[in-house]
């Protein structure tokens, strides 16, 4: 009897989840800039200081309430390594939103933001909502890219800009919520 009840509840939960709206989000940015850490913090509330490069692609999933609606969030964590270009191209299809990361302690990672922006816009059709994430802002003493510089780039490309830290959690949920809300508002307009 208890087993039947458990199966019934599991089936109802699974149906409920299946019927929710899906949002597909991709994280892109140069190697080591902080994509995996941002996704891990959002999905598991965890941060690991050790670096384990993403091999090709990783995946995160979470059910989130956005604008009073439950939504299935699918997060594709793409490697920033050139070797995985083909893998990324395969996975960009039907992307609703993307965040581009750079590491505020690395000039190279900021210089590559243009590359990532162009890759997304070239491959994704229709173009997704994109945000810029200035990562690792907890490392203030090593910072080389100012807030003004990041904000200016985001403004020029008409996108939201967020200063985030997966180490302290600063602005992480705020950034994701803003991305989800912008996507939902855009989809309502199109519908
Ligand atoms: N201090 C600090 N370190 C961070 C932060 N975010 C990431 N890191 C560290 O930076 C390193 C790289 O982070 P990842 O999240 O793995 O970077 P990635 O962009 O996924 O890298 P690839 O998978 O190789 O493309 C790891 O050692 C993280 O612990 C942060 O907000 N603050
Ligand atoms: Mg990674």
Q: pLDDT band at residue 1, thresholds of 50, 70 and 90?
A: low
Q: Which two tokens stand for residue 183?
A: 């996507």
Tens of pLDDT, residues 4-33: 888 888 887 777 776 788 999 999 999 999
Q: Is the CB of 166 under 6 A from ligand 1?
A: yes
Write down the mean pLDDT value for the chain: 93
Alpha carbon nearest to ligand 1 atom 23, residue: 54
CA dihedral 75, 79, 82, 87 (to 10 degrees): -50
Q: Is the CB of 31 under 6 A from ligand 1?
A: yes
Q: Is the CB of 112 under 6 A from ligand 1?
A: no
Q: Is the CB of 40 under 6 A from ligand 1?
A: no
pLDDT (0 to 100) of residue 191 = 65
Say what the pTM is. 0.92
**For residue 50, which atom of ligand 1 is closest to its CA?**
27
Tens of pLDDT, residues 167-184: 999 999 999 999 999 999
Distance 127 CA to ligand 1 centre (A): 26
Tens of pLDDT, residues 96-155: 999 999 999 999 999 999 999 999 999 999 999 999 999 999 999 999 999 999 999 999
Q: Widest CA span of the chain, in angstroms?
A: 63
CA distances from 38 to 1, 61, 189 (A): 43, 13, 29
Contact 138, 178 (CB under 8 A): no
- Hey, what domains does the chain have and what are their CATH numbers? 82-186 (3.40.50.300)
CA Rg value for the chain: 18
Q: Is the CB of 27 under 6 A from ligand 1?
A: no
Half-sphere exposure of 6 (CA within 13 A, CB side): 3
Q: pLDDT band at residue 190, thresholds of 50, 70 and 90?
A: confident
Alpha helices (H) in 81-146, listed in sequence order:
85-91, 107-111, 113-123
What burial letters (b/e) apply to 15-54, b meaning 16+ CB within 10 Å? eeeeeeeebbbbbbbbbbbbbbbbbbbbeeeeeeeeeeeb
Q: Is the CB of 109 under 6 A from ligand 1?
A: no
Backbone angles phi, psi at 101, to 5 degrees: -105, 145
Q: Which of 33, 34, 77 has most ligand 1 atoms within 8 Å of CB, for mutation?
A: 34
């Amino acid at each position: 009897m208890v087993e039947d009840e458990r199966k019934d509840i599991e089936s109802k939960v699974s149906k409920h989840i299946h019927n929710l709206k899906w949002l597909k989000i991709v994280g892109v940015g140069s190697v080591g800039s902080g994509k995996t850490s941002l996704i891990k913090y959002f999905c598991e509330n965890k941060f690991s200081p050790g670096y384990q490069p993403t091999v090709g692609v990783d995946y995160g999933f979470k059910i989130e309430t956005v604008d009073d609606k439950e939504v299935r969030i699918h997060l594709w964590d793409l490697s920033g390594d050139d070797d995985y270009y083909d893998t990324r191209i395969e996975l960009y299809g039907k992307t609703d939103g993307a965040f581009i990361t750079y590491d505020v302690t690395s000039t190279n990672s900021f210089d590559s933001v243009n590359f990532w922006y162009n890759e997304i816009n070239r491959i994704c059709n229709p173009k997704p909502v994109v945000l810029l994430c200035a990562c690792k802002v907890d490392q203030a003493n090593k910072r080389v890219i100012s807030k003004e510089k990041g904000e200016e780039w985001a403004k020029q490309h008409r996108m939201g800009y967020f200063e985030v830290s997966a180490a302290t959690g600063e602005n992480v949920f705020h950034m994701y919520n803003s991305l989800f809300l912008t996507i939902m508002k855009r989809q309502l307009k199109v519908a």
